[in-house]
Amino acid sequence: MNFGDLNWLAIGLAVLAMMILGFVWYAPWFPTGKVWARNMGMDPKNMPKPPGGKMAVSMTLMVIGSFLMMFVFAHTNMVYQDAFRNTDTGGTEGYELSIVDTMTGAVFTWLGFIVPLSLNAVAFENKPWSMFFVNAGYYLVGLLVAGALLASL
């Protein structure tokens, strides 16, 4: 297995999907964006415009974070596929992951990595449960979209 075997098109589209999803999910006109803005101490009807430099840094960090998540998720799916193809352990030669396989992987990735971090934000950073649901929901939807892209491309 090498990184050249990863589905780079699906990874790139998943990163783009995370960006588009984030712009909608956290927009002040979208229900989850309204909740997020209120929890951040902002008025969803009168959002302050961030300085250009701050926005550039934020967008750069979002792209890096989304890429890392999608890269690791794609790699994990590639490992799953290799395991399903291992005939020595009952696998099927030439097995291709189905959308059910990648969606299941998305849910378990979310449960194992996103949910615990989001719970810690509630437990130790005094974030309200509504922020847990907004932020954790964003990542669940993003991982499910990535799973669909990985299975279909």
- The Cα-based distances of 113 to 35, 107, 109, 140 in angstroms read 23, 10, 6, 11
Residue 67 CA, distance from chain mean position:
9
- pLDDT tens profile 14-47: 999 999 999 999 999 999 999 999 999 998 888 8
Q: Where along the chain do its domains lie?
A: 3-152
Of 18-32, 50-64, 102-116, 118-132, the least confident: 50-64
The tokens for 46 are 């009168």
31/25 Cα distance (integer angstroms)? 8
Rounded to two decimals, the pTM is 0.92
Question: Which residue shows structure tokens 């075997």?
Answer: 5
